[in-house]
Structure formats: C-alpha cells, structure tokens
A and B are shown apart, each in its own frame.
Chain A
Amino acid sequence: MTIEAPRDERALRVVGKSLPRVEAAAKVTGSIAYADDIVLPGMLFCKLLRSRHPYARVLSIDTRAARAVPGVVAVLTGHDLPVNYGIMPTCEDEHALEHEKVRFVGDPVAAVAAVDEETAQAGCRAISVEYEPLEAVESIEQALVPPDDEPLHDYAGPANVHRLAALEFGDVDAGFARAAHVREDIFFFEGNTHLPMEQHSATAQVAGDKVTLWSSTQDPHYVHRALAKVLGLPMGKLRVVAAPHGGGFGGKCDPFSHEIVVCKVAMMTGRPVKCTLTREEVFYTHRGRHPVLMWVRTGVDADGRILAMHFRSALDGGAYGSYGPASTLYTGALQTTTYAIPAYRFEGARVFTNKAPCGPKRGHGTPQPRFALEVHLDKLAADVGLDPVELRRRNFVKPFSRTVNWLRITSCGLEEVTNRVLEASGYARRERRRGHGMGFAVSSYMCGAGLPIYWNKMPHSECVVNVGRGGVTLYCGATDIGQGSDSVLATVAAEELGLWPGDIRLVTGDTGLTPVDLGSYSSRVTFMAGNAAREAAAKMRALLVGVVADEEGCAPQEVEVRDGKVGRMTFEEAATLAEEHLGVLSAHGTYTPPEGIGGRYKGAGVGPSPAYSYSAATVDLDADPGSGEIRVNKVWLAHDIGRSINEMAARGQVEGGVYMGLGEALMEAQAYRDGLHRQPSMLDYKSLTFLEMPEVETILVETHDPEGPYGAKEVGQGPLLPVIPAVVSAVHDALGVWIDEVPVTPDKIVRALDARAKGKEARYGPKRFPDIPYPDLVKVVPPDAATAAL
C-alpha cells in the first residue's frame, strides 16, 4: 500500500533526489583521512601479542627481553589493565589483555609500543608466555556437555552455555492440536565475517589530563563508556572520535582491546600511539555472524494459515559475550514481523566455544532464522499443495497491527514489495528446465533498536544546528560508516533550510563535540538521527523566518525558505539579521522512540523498533547437476524504504546488501580447524568479485512511514535478508534438492543429489537438534487477549 504524502511533503526539494554523497570528492581524491592515515608528531606504534592456543591458562608472562629491545618504549600486560568490560552490561567478560586465561587463537595477552611497527613486532616476539593448554571447546554440541576442564567463563553454565531464553506467546500446544498439518525442519547457518576493506585502527593522544582516541569505530558513544570504565577516568576527560570509516557491517561495534591499549600507552608515555590490525588479526577479532543451528515446527489449518510456531535456536557464540544476549533473542524476535503467527514459542541458547567471539553483522541475529523460516515455509507450502507465494500471502502481517510478541507494526509494504518483485522478475512464468531455477523470499528489519544497549534515559539521538559566519554546522554523534549517514543528515538539514546538502558543514561521531547518538548499528541512523536533525533544522528555520517576517513586515507563513533564500533575503543576510536580533543562533532536536512499541516481559527489549522495513527478493540462477556449481543470473530486490532520502545512496545500500547476502548464501564462512581459522586471508576467504556479482534490479517502494523523517525507513540491513533463502529456494527449483545449510556450496549440492540418487532424502543439512536445557517458558499473554481482558 502507498499512503498519500502529507500536503507539506509533496514539494520536497532535496529529499529523495539522487545526489552525490557529501564527502565523495574527498574520497575520490584520497584526501580523506581514515584512522590509519592519522599521523601525529612523535607517534609510537603498538602491536599486540596474541595467543596461539585456542584455550589455555596463562602461567607466566616474561617481558624483560622485550623491554630490552632498542626502540621499545612500553610493554603492557593484563596487570596494567585489570578492569573487565564488554558491550553489554550483563556480560562484561573481556580484558584488554588477558592475564589469566586465553580463550581463542588471537586473544591478546600483551602489547608493545615502539618507535615503529617493526620494532613493536620484534618486542612482541621477545615476550615469552608460559601456557597450560586446556581442552578446547569447538562446537555447540561439545559446549553443552560439562567440560573436563573448567568452563570458559565463571558465569557460564550449565556446561558452557552463555545464555538461555524461553518465551511463549499464546497457546502453542492448542494451536498445534488444531492444525490440519504440522511440519518440522532443522537448519544450520555457518558463521561468516564482515571483511571490511579497512583493517581496524586506533590512535590515542594525551594533552594534559585529557585523552583523545581516533578510531575506526561504529559507535564512539559505547567505546567512550568502556574506556572510562577500564581507564578509570571521568567521561569528561575522554574524547572518542570516529574517524572516516572504511567499512563496518557490524564488525566495529564492540569496544576493542587495541582501542583501550593505545589510550593506556598514551597515558603512560605521554606520546601519541597508533595500533592498526593486520588482516589476519581482523579475521580473529571478528564479532561476526553467529553459526546457528535451528529447529522449527509450524502448524497450519486447511487453508495454509499459520496456527502455531515453535522455533529453537542454538548459537555458537565464540569465546566472549559481546552482543550475545541480544543476538540470541534476535534469532527469535522478527519471525512475527512478516507473518501473523497467533501462537509462538521461542527457545534460544548461546554457548561459548574457543573461537573468535561472534557478534553483530548486518541483520544481527536475523539472517539465520530468516533463512530457516522462509525455506521451511517453502516446504510447508509443498506439503499442503499451495504455491509458496500464496502460502506467504495468506499469512502476511497487516500494516498498523501488533504482533503476538507485542511488536508494533506501522507502515508495511509487504504486499507491495512482493507484487513488484514477482512482476519484475516474471517469477510465475519462469522457464522450467533442469538446472535452472528461481526462488522467492521476504523479510523485514528494524529501523533502530527500541532500547539502548545499556539502560539509560537519554534520547537515542540528538542534533545541534548552529548558524554563523561558518554557514550552517550540524553536530550529531552519528557515524558515517560508508552507509551515507552524513549525507542523510546534510540532506535533512538542507531540506529544512532551503539549501543544498553540500552547504551543510558536519561534525559527527565525536563524543567531545557532538551531543549523544548511540551509533551506527541496528539500522537506526536515518530514522533516529534523521528525526533529530529534522527537528533541529526546522527550529532553526523558524528562528530565521521569524526575524525575516518582522523585517519584511509579513506573516511568517508568507516567508518562503528555498533556493538559498529566506523570503527576499539571501540565507547569509537572514542569518546575520537573526544574529543581530537573537545573538548565538543554535537550535537542537532530539529523538527518543515512543513508548509502547514492545511488550513488558523479560526479553521484550529485543525486537521493538519504531518502524520496520520490508524486503522481497527473487533470485534467478543456474545450478550444474553434475558439479553443483551455481551461477546467479540476476537478483530482483524490492524494498519498502518508507521514503528515500537520497535515492542513489539507497540503491547503493540495496546493491551492497544483495552482494553481501549472495556471498553469505554461496561461499562465505568463518570456519575453524583445531581452533584455527581455516581461511584468514582475503584470497582464501571467498567473497564475490566483479566476475561473480550478477545484475541487481532494485525497486524502491515508498510507504511513507508516519514517524520516519519525511516518512523514511532503513535500507542498510534489510535487503540482505531475503537473498539467502531465495538462493536456497532457487537451487531447489533448479535441481529438486534442499540445501538446509548455508553457505550452499557445490559439494553440498552434489551430496544432496547423490542422496536422492540412492533413494534417500533429497537434502543436505543437519539431522538432529541437540537436547538443550531450556528453562521453563515465560508465558506472555498476547496483545489481543490482554486487551480483551482489560
């Protein structure tokens, strides 16, 4: 459905146009300085010594030889940084340098700062660490049995379980009892990693009693908090600046060891210090997509309407907590934002293993269940003799409704993205021949998490707009990680002030200079910072208009603000006049998600969002029945973006999301052998190049969300989600086998074809779901019943 634009939004001048991003010229000339491009006078270089053992007790660390290396200035161990930290308050289980136990290959144990990188490296080599190896935990199954040695963390348990969740909304057993058909499936999603082109880098400098950190981080606010805790400094003495960013995708959302270490070294030596990770270190620093094993059971009535669903997940979390509790709940939260499920049970578990910690990657915790759910529905449709698209349509959520787990749905273009993508791709008329197939899937994603990572009542985003002789300057804590958030903010301010985005000077992602914004994660920037920027800029416009109306002797409504003019005055004249009358010209705006967008049960903090985007994909591919090789011919992706702020940038996000989804579907895997990453290099870790990337047809659907800025919703993460199940579905369409494990590699296809040839199930995938000691279900009364009971 498309809602008519409100009257005042019909004549948008800048919003919705395809404009170059504001920092593009600095990027094509190489003049923009990313974190590793920062050079400060007298700067030292730092390297971390990392564990080569997946799991071991640290018996001793001898740093004397390192200190004797000429050019080494400082050597640190865990004793210098004893305070624990972690992104989530419930699992602050990390130390910048571990001095008791290492839990994965790559866990940092010591740091050396020296006059150059080579000397720092030589210093690291001179450190001798005595380890007592412990028996490593390598799989979900292994993590569930009591370890011979101790569990990875004191707070783990039973065995190496990190976190359990068990929720029920409505009467699931009654739903299954009434069902005309019930189906169960098991799926596995192998983990994969962000692979940003830029390796993480951080530089710290001390001036007097103040410390400044420049880092390739996605959320300076959370890094700021962690630094204050670990370094024991008041927040006011610390400033964290997000440097121009060479790609995040969720991989630079945690506070990291190297960020803390450079600050500490700067404090100890008084000199600036930089630490840049090597590519191999980036693979081990990770925080990427969790491997997830999933079991799903759904009951439908005779018409294919879902009566009940039970979804179980088991996440391989790696060595530390990271965002784990949220990741776990995300594997169960958004099934209900696409399908109206009247009774729903979710049981989830995250375990610790001796691998690089997993965390948030584009789609955080939802691509895995989305793959499982969509493929499961394809199979269910076949069971009941319904077209898979029709089965989905019968169950689509309705706009402006409430899900069984209390999520508030507002604008929802699910029908429209489905129609548009099917039409454009000719899905219904597809050519049926062995080896050729098309697949279809839908998905939805949040426009920002409804709650912050740690409990606080600050607005989620704040903006200040100042006007003076420097022109217009917008201050916001949001961080452009390449997704175009600076351009979004500049466009919003320009729209309100009758200027062009290039006229707006931006100060962003700087905890010392900008008001709070929680960061670039959960697809929150356009919606939240966009609303804050709009409010600030609209207030500034009102100030200017008021003064000009007085001067020109007319009513404020008669003063037009457009094309660099305020009424008959130029913007500059109006600004000077306003400053004469009002003094400093400053206006601010804030955004806090509304109350009541989620439920009130334990675990209700994960899933609510002020709005949801919707995507649908069709994938056309050829699959070779002999070799299992796949060639993707084309992808159609329709996305309900609410409204695009910058159409070209929005299309870029869709194309990038499809690219990353295809990589995950077909080849990308963060896999280990004996605790070692199997492919910690860009050559061996397969990702799509120009040659494998197919054409993408992008269809933007505008549903004008009532609360989004100008109706806008997210586009950074959602479009990745339907691509993975659509690939799996297309492979089935082509060859008649189900690959229930992602990535869908040729060997898996060949094995499924072999299985079928031998008269076995035409499938490749996991056969059993482990016994997990889920706790008693928290039974939540669903909204309708609750409202009825009032």
Chain B
Amino acid sequence: MEVPDGRELLRLSVNREDRLLLVRSHATLLEVLREDLGLTGTKHGCELGECGACTVLVDGTPQLSCLLLPAQVEGTAVTTIEGLARGSELHPVQQAFVAQGGLQCGYCTPGMVLAAKALLDENPAPSRDEIKEALAGNLCRCTGYAGIIEAVEEAGRMLS
C-alpha cells in the first residue's frame, strides 16, 4: 500500500513474527531489517551483492538482502540470524560453527550460517565440493574457509 511522502506500508513476516511497517519505498530489505526492525545481526560488506554478508533466508532460500526490496518478500517467511536459535539453544549449524572454529571476527558469520543452513536443509550430507559451491558467494577474510567447511560438515552430522 502506497502512502504519500515516498513511503510504503508493508506487512512482513520476519523470524516468525508478523510486522506492519511504514518504510521508505526505495529502502532495501537489508536497511529495513537493520534500521527499521533493529535486527543488526544481518551484516553489510558492500551493499552491491558482492560479498554475501547480508544473506537472509526467504522461504528457506538464501538471498542477498542488499539486493531485495522489502515489497518483494511480502507474503514470504524471512529468517535472519536472530531467528535461528530456539530460545537460548543454538541451532546445530550455530553450534558447529562455535565448536569447529568456523568464525574469527564473526562478521561474515551470520550470512555463512544461514547459507549453510539452507544447504543442509536440502542436502544433509553434502560433499566438500558441494559445500564450497553452495557458499562460494559468501566471502570470509579471516578463516581461510577451512574452519567453515569443517563446521558445515559437523552440522550435517548433527542434523542427520
């Protein structure tokens, strides 16, 4: 629904909560999540679709929130990193990242964890090549990727 002043009224489902929002019509989903909803767990490294830091799940599929307009995700279920743990219990993918050293500075981690979860939901026992393929759009400057691959393998074992 359009309202004057370049704003838009939107109904979004984020982390299983329905939210009614009045947002700037050209704001990206990334901006709305971080600035309007205060979900700062979603990160930004480029805001041009190049780094994967802003990855969120839209109906379970990893998407770059810096390239999406919130209107495009109306009627879908958006999951951000804040929506993964159940209460204080970490999701197995999160547990595995912690246990296997899948993070250092942690800035790429929200995007990595979500991309990994989406992969494992589809394919609980991916090969190393399948993991690399699935995560190739997410850059990490710290880990050399090795710890992340081990974390995803470990999470796969935990989930199956």
Contact = CB atoms under 8 A, between A and B. Distances in A.
A28 interface: yes
Most buried by A among B34, B47, B105, B133: B105
B105 A682 contact: no
A481 B148 CA distance: 18
A41 interface: no
B42 to A, nearest CB: 7
B110 interface: yes
A48 B108 CA distance: 26
A33 B40 contact: yes
Chain B binding site: helix, strand, loop or mixed by DSSP? loop
27 contacts: A20-B98, A28-B106, A29-B84, A31-B82, A36-B44, A196-B107, A196-B141, A197-B45, A197-B53, A197-B139, A198-B107, A245-B105, A246-B107, A247-B142, A279-B48, A279-B50, A482-B104, A651-B101, A681-B48, A681-B50, A682-B45, A682-B48, A687-B139, A687-B141, A689-B139, A690-B145, A691-B136
Summarize A's interface: helix, strand, loop or mixed: loop
A197 B108 contact: yes
A690 B94 contact: no
Interface string A22-35: 01111111111110
Interface string A14-57: 00001011011111111111101101000000000000000000
B51 to A, nearest CB: 5
B65 interface: no
Contacts of A682: 45-46, 48, 50-51, 139
Given A20-B99, A197-B51, 20 more contacts: A20-B101, A28-B98, A28-B109, A29-B41, A29-B85, A30-B41, A36-B40, A199-B45, A246-B107, A247-B142, A249-B141, A484-B104, A648-B100, A655-B147, A659-B145, A682-B48, A689-B137, A690-B136, A693-B146, A696-B146
A693 B144 contact: yes
A526 B50 CA distance: 34
A683 B48 contact: yes
Interface string B33-77: 010001111111111101101000000000000000000000000
A649 interface: yes
Contacts of B12: none
Contacts of B135: 690
Contacts of B85: 29
A652 interface: yes
Q: Which of A649, A656, A657, A660 has the most CB of B within 10 A?
A: A656
A635 to B, nearest CB: 9
B24 to A, nearest CB: 8
A143 to B, nearest CB: 31
B82 A30 contact: yes
A89 B112 CA distance: 42
Interface residues on A, range: 35 or more
Contacts of A196: 105, 107, 141
B146 A24 contact: no
A28 B97 contact: yes
Contacts of A199: 44-45
Nearest to B93: A28
B133 to A, nearest CB: 7
A655 B139 contact: no
A490 interface: no
A278 interface: yes
A687 B138 CA distance: 12
Nearest to B105: A482
A689 B136 contact: yes
Contacts of B78: none
B45 A652 contact: no
Contact of B105 (A246, A648, A690): A246
Nearest to B109: A27
Given A37-B40, A482-B142, A30 B105 contact: no
B38 A39 contact: yes
